[in-house]
Structure 1
Amino acid sequence: MSYVEQWNGYAAAKSQSALGSQASSTGATIIRQTGGVGGRTTKAAIESQEVRRDGMSTRGRHGLRKATGAYTSEYSVGGFDDIMQAVLRGTWSAADLAITEATAGLTSITTGANTIVAAAGSWITAGVKVNDVWVLTGHSSAGNNSRNLRIMGVTALTLTVAETLTVNAVADTAFTMTRTGRVLVNPGAGALVKRYYTVEEYEYDTDRSEVFTDCVWGSFKLSMQPNGLLLFDTSWVGTGQTEVKASGASPHFTSPTTPTGVPLAVVEATVRMNGVDLVDLTSFDITVDNQPVAPDVISASPYAPDVFSGSEMVTMNLTALRKDLTFMSDFLAETPYSLHILATENESEPKSFVSIAVPNFTLGSVDKSALAKAGGPRTQSISVPAALVGVDVTGAGYNATQVQIQVSNAT
């Protein structure tokens, strides 16, 4: 008899063609993880209410099945694209959108310290949006080329970027701007895409696996702490369809692919809030949750007929060193905020990255830490509940979304 060692297994997932259609054996992807409870199937315990004169109980029965799963991971570029797409119920854009001086009548550009100014035409028509990350190439000022540029403002003629550029007032008539990788936003009304997944958890020591069908990815959480890696927690809800694969019939998925990106470190991440790169954060997390539910029903089947999602809920928590009362003043005034995260790999520019933006929210609370005799800074904890995060309704040059994600990988 072989016992299972706690490291000697894996979880893998693949999208299904439809509800009730278990994914085929090829093309699955390993869920890289550091822990989490994994997949779990439960059944309701139905208690018999019979009153027995011997003072004992009649054995009850099993009720409906429930299946859920949760994994903790370290975020790497390209490692969780399918999950983020499923949670947002959107679709990744085509890769590497490129524009030149010939696009949308732009003609030529000049650069200011934080601006790229077109002589004519329209950046908006060309497809540039606030919170995008673009790379400029072919520019006459070498220092402006091949850098990740965070777009913080868009008008027809002017792009405002967070990075400092080389000022060049001479019109440049040969350039290329590329929106690196792909962008994911909340789709519009009637365009949400519901995706079902088959998830397998395989153990090498017993050559057996649990296979969960009709799983819906419901949430992800990105969190950061000083001197740490970006952590990425995910969860799904299933209809309860679970099977145990016997030795010889396991695993269901044949040679699932393992993403190869390196985990991203917090030291290479920048959090920008309302136009300022924060340098005094001590913790940060953001959670996106579409609230999936598998309902109880009266049926001859022990499973839920489907998994039903709700409205997308976005929450955030920040802790920062306390240097002034700006956050408190903005909390009292209900000042609209925007937030942009850029986390990169440790490499030369243009670096591989993930970008996450929350464009429209207000602060839910600002709480200061207690005074103390010990040395150290006073901090303030800021929470943003789901009720105070909304769709961006700014209009032209902005995506109408609650969350915008961009990854530098093309596939």
Structure 2
Amino acid sequence: MAYQSGRNILVAYKPEASFGVLPDGATGSKVFRPNSGGLNLTKEPIRSNEVRRDGQISRGRHGSRSVSGSYVGDLSLGSYDDFIEAAFRGSFDAPLALSGLAVAADATGKTFTRASGSWITDGVRVGDVVRFGAFTAGGAANNGRNLRVAGLTALVMTVADPVTTIAEQSNITLARAKKLLMGTIPRSFAVEEREIDIDGSELFTGVRIGSLQLQLQPNGMATVTFGLVGQDMDTKTGVDSPYFASPVATTSIGMTAVEAMIRLGAEDVLDITALNLNINLNAAGVPVVGSVLTPDVFTNQATVEGSITALKKDISRVQQFLDEEVLSLHLLFTENESEPKDFCSFFVGNLTLASMQKSELGADNARTQTINLLIGKDERGGAYSDSTVVYQTSAA
């Protein structure tokens, strides 16, 4: 008799067209690349209240079903875009492509100034990652690089990255990869855990993404954890397993924490020892009379929280905490060494430092401070995206 190992398991999924309705398994499924985790079906036990003369208890019955669990994965290009989209309850927009621009660049101010038109009207926002093209001669060093937009007016774009000065040139291009804002569109998936050693599958339906957590640790991968809540489960064996016949897997490599570019406020920081960013949709089913299945898994008001632990180098963060200074957080992850670098990024445009806790006196090595973030929707409009968190990726 074969027993199932803990590793020879394939996780595959496909979006549902209607909540709880199993989609066709022949095409269109994808592989989820997990580090750990799993889904489980639970049933609420219904206890008997019978009063028996023999002092014992009657067996109870099975009640409402629910599915819960989580998957952890290394953040990588395009691997989790479906689940991130579901956690945001938004939809990726189309990449932005501008051409025929007349633009000058200035290294001192890290600015790109256009002769006419408007960056804002054309769709660029603070927190975007953009790439210029078609600069010639001395300006060619500005081409094909990931530039983080740190400030924006109609004509002037300020970036957080080095710029090569060049006088105004014509027919310049600008590209901005697809972008995701937070919204209100719920999505559900069918998820299959295929246990290959025993030729069986557990097939979960009505699965919604209830939470997303991004974690960074020194000398570790950037990891994403998805919390899932679902409606029901079925089993498949023999010729019926796997249900998803040909799931497609990405081949991108994982992003590391040490390669991340982290910008808090107006400063690129290199002294962070841990960072967490959490989106929680507080997803839950509702037990009903007449069925063991919840009619839906409901996602609720999204809460976004975060924390940073960093070496203490001065008193500036304490002053920002005292002043309730509004800051932003930009996390940029890249995959390859050569330009243009494939990337994904998370941008939080409206936060303050909610609390600060120093490490105790007398501890070895540098003193640290742990900062909890108070995060809300960015409602400034104009040059700013209308979202609590913005996700962007160069994945197709």
- Length-normalised TM-score, structure 2: 0.96
Structure 1 or 2: more strand by fraction: 2
1:182 corresponds to which residue?
178
1:405 corresponds to which residue?
391
Shift of 1:247: 1.9
1:330 corresponds to which residue?
320
Query: Which consecutive residues of structure 2, in runs of 5 or more, have no partner in the other structure?
Result: none
Secondary structure of 1:331's match?
helix
Secondary structure of 1:409's match?
coil
2:344 corresponds to which residue?
354
Is 1:381 the counterpart of 2:382? The answer is: no
User: Equivalent of 2:272, from 264, 277, 281?
Assistant: 281
- Residues 299-355 of structure 1: per-residue CA shift (max 9 Å, x gap): 2x2110111111111110110001122222222221111100001113201111111
- Residues 103-148 of structure 1: per-residue CA shift (max 9 Å, x gap): xxxx443434300011222111121111111111111312111111
Shift of 1:72: 1.1
Secondary structure of 2:83's match?
helix
- Residues 10-50 of structure 1: per-residue CA shift (max 9 Å, x gap): 111110111232111121111101111x1111111111122
5 Å matches for 1:254-265?
A: 254-265=245-256
CA RMSD, aligned part only?
A: 1.3
2:30 corresponds to which residue?
29
User: Equivalent of 1:131, from 127, 133, 139?
Assistant: 127
Residue 172 of structure 2 aligns to which amino acid in structure 1?
Answer: F
Secondary structure of 2:121's match?
helix
Is 1:109 the counterpart of 2:110? The answer is: no
1:233 corresponds to which residue?
225
Instruction: Name the CA distance, whole Å, in 2 between partners of 1:340 and 1:131.
Output: 7
Instruction: Name the CA distance, whole Å, in 2 between partners of 1:68 and 1:90.
Output: 22
Residue 400 of structure 1 aligns to which amino acid in structure 2?
Answer: D
State whether residues 111 and 159 of structure 2, in contact with CA within 8 Å, keep that contact through their aligned partners in structure 1. Answer: yes
Instruction: Name the CA distance, whole Å, in 1 between partners of 2:142 and 2:206.
Output: 48
5 Å matches for 1:12-411?
A: 12-25=12-25, 26-36=27-37, 38-95=38-95, 97-102=96-101, 107-113=102-108, 114-140=110-136, 141-168=139-166, 170-179=167-176, 181-187=177-183, 192-239=184-231, 241-299=232-290, 301-372=291-362, 374=364, 376-384=365-373, 388-410=374-396
Residue 42 of structure 1 aligns to which amino acid in structure 2?
Answer: T
Residue 135 of structure 1 aligns to which amino acid in structure 2?
Answer: R
State whether residues 291 and 312 of structure 1, in contact with CA within 8 Å, keep that contact through their aligned partners in structure 2. Answer: yes
State whether residues 105 and 163 of structure 2, in contact with CA within 8 Å, keep that contact through their aligned partners in structure 1. Answer: no
Secondary structure of 2:297's match?
coil
State whether residues 296 and 304 of structure 1, in contact with CA within 8 Å, keep that contact through their aligned partners in structure 2. Answer: yes
Structure 1 range deviating more: 365-374 or 398-407: 365-374
- Residues 51-73 of structure 1: per-residue CA shift (max 9 Å, x gap): 22222111111111111121111
Instruction: Name the CA distance, whole Å, in 2 between partners of 1:369 and 1:135.
Output: 41
Residue 5 of structure 2 aligns to which amino acid in structure 1?
Answer: E
- Residues 141-165 of structure 1: per-residue CA shift (max 9 Å, x gap): 1211111100011101100000111
Instruction: Name the CA distance, whole Å, in 2 between partners of 1:223 and 1:120.
Output: 42
Residue 35 of structure 2 aligns to which amino acid in structure 1?
Answer: T
Shift of 1:373: 5.3
In the TM superposition, structure 1's runs of 4+ consecutive aligned residues that sit over 6 Å from their partners are: none
Instruction: Name the CA distance, whole Å, in 2 between partners of 1:395 and 1:39.
Output: 40
State whether residues 206 and 247 of structure 1, in contact with CA within 8 Å, keep that contact through their aligned partners in structure 2. Answer: no
How many residues align? The count is 392
State whether residues 268 and 346 of structure 1, in contact with CA within 8 Å, keep that contact through their aligned partners in structure 2. Answer: no
How has the CA–CA distance of structure 1 residues 124 and 64 changed in structure 2, closer, same or farther, with 3 Å as cutoff? same
How has the CA–CA distance of structure 1 residues 336 and 108 changed in structure 2, closer, same or farther, with 3 Å as cutoff? closer
Instruction: Name the CA distance, whole Å, in 2 between partners of 1:365 and 1:72.
Output: 28
State whether residues 110 and 172 of structure 1, in contact with CA within 8 Å, keep that contact through their aligned partners in structure 2. Answer: no
Query: Which consecutive residues of structure 1, in runs of 5 or more, have no partner in the other structure?
Result: none
Percentage identity across paired residues of the two chains: 39
- Residues 349-377 of structure 1: per-residue CA shift (max 9 Å, x gap): 11111110011011111000001153x00
Residue 35 of structure 1 aligns to which amino acid in structure 2?
Answer: S
